[in-house]
Amino acid sequence: MPPDPAAPQPAPAPPAKPESDWWLMTRKFLKKGTSIASFSPSQGPLCRAMASHIDYDAAKCIVELGAGTGPVTAELLKRVKPHTRLIVCELDPDFCVRLRQRFPTAEVVEGDATKLADLLAERGITAVDHVISGLPLPSFPAELRNAVIAASAKVLTPNGTFRQLTNMPWVYMPLYKKYFAEVKFQFVPMNVPPSGVYTCRGYKPDAPGAPTPAA
Ligand SMILES: C[S@@+](CC[C@H](N)C(=O)[O-])C[C@H]1O[C@@H](n2cnc3c(N)ncnc32)[C@H](O)[C@@H]1O
């Protein structure tokens, strides 16, 4: 017998509860390992440190690399001025969906940080004041790490900064000194775990993977 259209319809199922940021990150970590390298989103004190000590009045363009579920993005968005473009670059499509849901007005770019110059050129950007990296650079293979840092250096202004978060304070100071002439470390003791931010300036011509100058 065909269904009676006048019969009472069952109530629609309630919308599925969105997966939490924490669980999304854990699931991605279990699936992808070293390209995520963290089983939970960064905590507030570290995210605030990543977004601090930036001259937001002067900045014309800020790029975030490896935004994940967006805890650092949220802090940057609280601070950027209307004249500044914030480009949020993330490789994983599911994280990009989450970022666009959370920050509908943000410029979220699904792409590989090693292709940063091209991704920015497509958007009419040739110079960046600050690159804010949440990428797990130390756990990347050396070639990938070299490519990300070289790609960032290519677009940074002469006084621009490359900022890198870490959950292992000071350990990677020698690593970043191979790439940059000036490396400062800000310890963030109130984070769980105690963490920090490297602020790097002046990409070295002899950095690992630096492009060889044309003869
Ligand atoms: C450790 S998670 C950090 C997420 C977030 N910034 C935070 O602090 O919670 C690293 C992020 O980098 C992204 N990622 C890894 N390789 C990438 C690449 N080549 N280009 C852009 N994003 C990348 C991962 O998908 C992941 O979201």
pLDDT tens sequence across 87-98: 999 999 999 999
Pocket of ligand 1 (CB under 6 A): 35-38, 41-42, 65-68, 71-72, 89-92, 95, 112-114, 134-136
Question: Using 50, 70 and 90 to split pLDDT, how confident is the model at 6?
Answer: confident
As a whole number, mean pLDDT of residues 99-125 equals 97
As a whole number, mean pLDDT of residues 15-38 equals 82
Give residue 201 CA to ligand 1 midpoint distance, Å: 22
Look-up of token digits 């979220």 = 108
Q: Phi, psi at residue 158, to the nearest 5°?
A: -55, -35
CA-64 nearest atom, ligand 1: 6
Question: Using 50, 70 and 90 to split pLDDT, how confident is the model at 106?
Answer: very high
Q: Does domain 35-203 have CATH number 3.40.50.150?
A: yes
The amino acid present at 110, given as its one-letter code, is E
Q: Is the pLDDT of residue 215 over 70?
A: no
**Count of CB atoms within 10 A of residue 79's CB?**
15
Q: In what order do the strands lie in the sheet with 85-90?
A: 107-110, 85-90, 61-65, 128-133, 156-166, 195-203, 180-188
Give residue 122 CA to ligand 1 midpoint distance, Å: 21
CA-40 nearest atom, ligand 1: 9
Going by alpha carbons, the residue nearest to atom 13 of ligand 1 is 66
In the prediction, which pLDDT does 174 show?
A: 98
Question: Using 50, 70 and 90 to split pLDDT, how confident is the model at 8?
Answer: confident
Triad 43, 48, 53: Cα angle to 5°: 150
Q: What percent of the chain has pLDDT over 70?
A: 97
Q: Is the pLDDT of residue 10 over 90?
A: no
| DSSP classification of residue 91 | S
Comparing 64 with 192, which gets the higher pLDDT?
64
Going by alpha carbons, the residue nearest to atom 11 of ligand 1 is 66
How many H-runs (helices) and E-runs (strands) does the chain carry? 7, 7
As a whole number, mean pLDDT of residues 71-80 equals 98
As a whole number, mean pLDDT of residues 22-35 equals 84
154 vs 205: CA distance, rounded Å: 11
* Residues 6 or more apart whose Cβ sits within 8 Å of residue 136: 34, 35, 36, 37, 38, 66
Q: Name the maximum alpha-carbon separation found in the chain.
A: 83
Q: Is the pLDDT of residue 14 over 80?
A: no
